[in-house]
Amino acid sequence: MSPDVLLWVVVAVVVLVAIGVGLVVASRVRGKRRTAALRRHFGPEYEHVLHQSGSRAQGESELRRRLQRRSELDVRSLDADERERFAAGFGRAENAFVQTPRTGLRDADLLVQQVLRERGFPVEHFSEREAMVSVEHPDLVGHYRAAHTVAVADTTDDADTEQLRQAMVDYRYLFDELIGAGTPQSTQRDLPTP
């Protein structure tokens, strides 16, 4: 092989190696940006999903699936009359809670499902509701999960009064956000202990 051909072969190999290294670096940078974007969007839910799925790749894939699923839904805001009607329903659930905590909590759980349905979210299974709430309200999905757990545990009388009260407060946070009333002035942070 002549020295000129050998030089061109060496140059070509160096260029190919440089391109390969550049592609690897670019891929890692894109991956880090995607991870950072998911962390920013989902907050604490990012870590929860990664823990549940067992790996970063699977967890991030699940979070991207949730974002994609949400983008496919035709979700709408409630009009003023609907917000008023639902707010009155939640007021009744809170009143029922003071008298009979288990009934009030059950009513709040059902009302959150009704609001989600009315807005266009899937409501058949809790896992679907939880996933879509995590996209829209990642800061509240943990509270929703905890409240739902208590509501389900309540059917076997496993929840104590403080757990019931906290679940009702958690439902209120999410409810106010779902109907579009989630401002500090409209969100009742404390409920009386029954």
Provide the 3-class DSSP secondary structure of residue 43: coil
DSSP code at position 187: -
Are 36 and 115 part of one and the same domain?
Answer: no
Does the pLDDT value for residue 20 go beyond 80? no
pTM: 0.75
Are 133 and 92 part of one and the same domain?
Answer: yes
Structurally, the chain folds into a number of domains equal to 2
Does the pLDDT value for residue 60 go beyond 60? yes
**What are the structure tokens assigned to 150, written together?**
């208590």
Are 101 and 146 part of one and the same domain?
Answer: yes
Are 62 and 90 part of one and the same domain?
Answer: no
Residue 171's pLDDT band (cuts 50, 70, 90): very high
Are 114 and 49 part of one and the same domain?
Answer: no
pLDDT at 189: 34
Per mean pLDDT, which range of 22-31, 84-93, 96-105 is the poorest?
A: 22-31
> For residue 3, what are the CA distances in angstroms to 7, 9, 10, 12, 101?
6, 10, 10, 14, 89
pLDDT at 69: 93
What is the average pLDDT score of the chain?
Answer: 84
- 189: in domain: no
What is the extent of the structural domain holding 21? 3-72
Cβ proximity of 94 and 51 under 8 Å: no
Are 142 and 85 part of one and the same domain?
Answer: yes
- 27: in domain: yes
Residue 194's pLDDT band (cuts 50, 70, 90): very low
Q: Give the separation between CA 128 and CA 45, rounded to whole angstroms.
A: 15
